[in-house]
Chain A
Amino acid sequence: MKFDDKVPIYYQIKNYLYHEMLTGTLNPGDKLPAVRQLAVDLTVNVNTVQRALSEMITEGTIESQRGKGNFVTADTTRLAQLKEQLVMTQLAQVYEQLHALNLTDEEIIASLKRYIEQKGAGQNA
């Protein structure tokens, strides 16, 4: 995959793995590829992958089992939290930007609804 070289790579690796976990490429309880394999697949440094993984272990989104490797947590509540957290981060950005355009909260909701309706119509057509 391509990285944005302006953003710390370990952070982008985390986001990549979150994405895999939430879209179902990696299911709860699944084993992650070995660190070196991940590094090769993503064309990044082993140490950087290690840093991303250890942060994720600390957060509880993945679990490390001695001698076996790393696994996506089977704790679905934790995964739900992660999803919520990611959704909120995305929304926060949109909200900040729309707010900066002097939209009120009601107007933001209304525009969002309009946007979804239009997009839905476009897809159905």
Chain B
Amino acid sequence: MPNVLAIQGLTYKRNQKLILKNIDLTLETGKIVGLLGENGAGKTTLMRLITGSAQGSGDIMVSDATTATARKAHVSFSEQLHGFNKNVKISRVVDFYQTVYSDFDLNRYHELADFLQLNGELKLLALSKGMREKLIIALTLARQTDLYLLDEPFGGIDSMSRKKIISSIIQWKPDNATMLISDHYVTEIAPILDEIVVVKDQTIAVHQKTDTIRSESGMDIEDYYESLYAGGVDHD
């Protein structure tokens, strides 16, 4: 199967502090992959390096694009809309996306917005945490691209919103696109993951298929993940 993401020898330092060290990672086309790790382990940083929002050393290839500018056309990242004035209406944000992203599909957006019950007339400041996260998901998935990066889409939101978001991921991820979802609490999304990638000690500690973990260790994904930190399980 062709790879949608290929990272080689990626190292990242900030203020002379080593955050990620010599990372190699390839993701196949069409997968949903969980990116796990403690807070501050570097999950968000890894995503930011892929989009070119953060600058490290090493090779990152998305589809066939190697430069940061070219990669941006193949990656849809769940950015947090901080660049917008809080008084702006959702419909205005949608216009913005439609203007600047040629792969933004307005029909897809409206389907997603209907499903997630987003009201375009609301202003950004009027959105609850769950609503805001739904909007970010709808905008991110409305782009038709090769790689989707969802950074902690379930942080601090109610379980109904969480379920809706999970359903929309299953429903709207294009078959030939790959999705990387970061989370530090895996149980809720474990059934939808093909693979997990664990960032630990500045590098990728584990990259494994979830059903392989289940059949080989007999553990659920959360227990397996926690066992990495207890140091009890041999993982190779």
Contact = CB atoms under 8 A, between A and B. Distances in A.
B211 A8 contact: yes
B31 interface: yes
Main secondary structure of the interface of B (DSSP, over half): helix
A6 interface: yes
A36 B214 CA distance: 23
Contacts of A44: 170, 191-192
- Give the bracket for the number of chain B residues in contact with chain A: 20 to 34
Nearest to B222: A5
A5 B190 contact: yes
A105 B116 CA distance: 58
Contacts of A95: none
A41 B69 CA distance: 38
Contact of A5 (B173, B175, B221): B221
A42 B187 CA distance: 15
Contacts of A6: 214, 218-220
B194 A36 contact: no
Contact of B210 (A4, A9, A43): A9
A1 to B, nearest CB: 10
Contact of B171 (A3, A10, A36, A51): A36
Contacts of B221: 5
Contacts of B180: none
B171 A40 contact: yes
Interface in A42-57: 42-48, 51
B66 interface: no
B48 to A, nearest CB: 26
Given A36-B171, A45-B193, 5 more contacts: A40-B167, A40-B171, A43-B166, A43-B170, A46-B173
Closest 9 CB pairs of A and B: A5-B220, A8-B211, A8-B214, A6-B220, A45-B192, A44-B191, A39-B170, A8-B215, A5-B190
Interface of A: 3-10, 36, 39-40, 42-48, 51
